[in-house]
Amino acid sequence: MTQSPRTLINFAVLGVAFLAFLIFSVMRYAPYTGFMLGYDDELDELRVVNLDGWVETQGLQLGDTIESITNADGLRMTIERRHILKSSAEARQYYGNRSQRLIEIDRLYELFNHSPIVISRGDGTEVTLVLDRQRPISSLSLSFWALFFISLTAPLVSSIVWAWQPKKPEASLLLISGLGFFASCFSSVASIYNTDMFYIPLFLHWLIRCALDLGQFTFAVFGTAVLLYYPNRLSFAPKALKALLAGYFIYPPLRLVQWLVVQRLRLRHLPGVQRCRSL
């Protein structure tokens, strides 16, 4: 390794910056509705609890009751309590498994991704909204920012350690473990429940889920491998590391195949979506 620590640290910082850009790209990929729905427990209704000025000028008002939404492609969905969730505990109340929830989120992504949309209100009137804005940074919650910075800490610290000691195996293992920690936290960042009306397509959820599984596995395997060399190198460290590497490369494909099989079986039992004429 001929590069100086300063050069390697520069590459490390650029790498972490790219990871940060990746998170923001995912967050801003989702269509932005400009309004947020909340559930009124007393009246058993979904109401508009927050909205941007550009949405209000198009006719939607605070307190409006929402019944259904139709998009430009003719996709119509009745908006229910299960579509506006605040925690994983609430999700378990309305969905039998994760796949059902992700399929429903994918449908909502398709619904809001084809503008304009027509919102049917509880009083029988309709409002047409043109969704042509990207999600502003200000719409992201404090919990998002907290987890965002946590997710970047591990790869930044571990990459700087590796840059100063690139020839030491424990430094390399720590770097890989830090990247695994990022992948795991990144998946959690993209699953924050209280991000306003945040819906992304199924394929992106699939990638995030794979990143979560692989990130947790990477963090655990290579984090454990660090202890083989630090603070004192164990006599069986090379053999143990080979065994861990073998398991690392065998487990993810098997886990992926299992997930795909289960996903296919669940998809067969999910109900269809009502469609109506195009607008």
Range of lowest pLDDT (110-119, 123-132, 269-278): 269-278
Task: Identify which of 34, 45, 44 has the alpha carbon closest to the alpha carbon of residue 116.
Answer: 34
The tokens for 119 are: 């919102």
User: CB–CB of 206/109 below 8 Å?
Assistant: no
47-57 pLDDT, tens digit each? 998 888 899 99
Q: What DSSP line would sit under 92-134, residue for residue?
A: HHH-SSHHHHHHHHHHHHHHHTSS-EEEEETTS-EEEE----P
Give kind and range of the element (H or E) at residue 120. strand 117-121
Residue 148 has pLDDT above 70, yes or no: yes
Rounded Cα distance, 109 and 205, in Å: 11
Which DSSP category does 135 fall into?
A: P
Rounded Cα distance, 191 and 198, in Å: 9
Rounded Cα distance, 47 and 126, in Å: 14
Q: Please give the pLDDT value at position 259.
A: 67
Residue 199 has pLDDT above 50, yes or no: yes
Taking residues 99-103, report their average pLDDT: 81
Name residue 63's amino acid: G
Task: Identify which of 71, 51, 73 has the alpha carbon closest to the alpha carbon of residue 61.
Answer: 51
Q: Please give the pLDDT value at position 163.
A: 81
Rounded Cα distance, 105 and 200, in Å: 7
- DSSP-derived 3-state class of residue 87: coil
* pLDDT confidence bin for 97, thresholds 50/70/90: confident
Q: Let me know how many helices (H) and strands (E) the chain has, helices first.
A: 8, 6
User: CB–CB of 190/27 below 8 Å?
Assistant: yes
Q: Please give the pLDDT value at position 118.
A: 94
Other beta carbons within 10 angstroms of residue 3's beta carbon come to: 12
Rounded Cα distance, 205 and 137, in Å: 21
Average pLDDT along the chain: 81
How many degrees, rounded to 5, is the angle at CA 87 between CA 26 and CA 215? 50
Averaging pLDDT over each range in 174-178, 190-194, 274-278, which range is the top one? Answer: 174-178
User: How many alpha carbons lie under 13 Å from residue 92 in its C-beta half-sphere?
Assistant: 3
Query: What pTM does this model have?
Result: 0.73
User: CB–CB of 118/279 below 8 Å?
Assistant: yes
Q: Please give the pLDDT value at position 161.
A: 86
Q: Please give the pLDDT value at position 132.
A: 85
